[in-house]
Amino acid sequence: MSDYGVFVKIHDWRVRTETGENRLWRATKHGGKWSFMSRLQRSEEEWTAHEHMELEELQKAREVLFNKYQRRRLPWEDVVQIDAMIEEANAMEADGGQPGSLNAESSS
C-alpha cells in the first residue's frame, strides 16, 4: 500500500451507463478538498478527473457517503460538505449558470 492511501480515504461506487457498461466513480478528500474521478470499467484503463460534477452525480456520491456515515466509516462533516456542494449546484442551476455542474474544488 502506498503512503497516499494512509492519509486519504478513497470512496468508490459503480453506476450503470445508458449503454449498459459500469462507470466506476472514485471520490477522495485530501486537505479539506474533494476530488472526483471516473472511468468505464471495461473500455477505459485511466481515471478521468472531473473538475465539474453534475448534480445527479453529486447526489449519488452523497448517497454513498451517507451510507458509509451510517456504518461509522465516515465523519458527518464529509456528508455536510457534499450537501453544501449539492446546494451550490442547485443554486447555480436556478441562477442560469452552468446547469447541474459544480467545481469539485470549490467546497472546503
pLDDT on residue 93: 83
Coil, strand or helix at 14 = strand
Domain chopping of the chain, boundaries: 4-103
3-state secondary structure of 73: coil
Residues of the chain under the 50 pLDDT cut: 1, 99-101, 106-108
Could you give the CA distance from residue 66 to residue 54 in angstroms, rounded to a whole number?
Answer: 18
Give pLDDT, residue 13.
95
Residues 88-105 pLDDT 10s: 999 988 887 654 445 555
Report pLDDT for 97: 65
Mean pLDDT score of the chain: 86
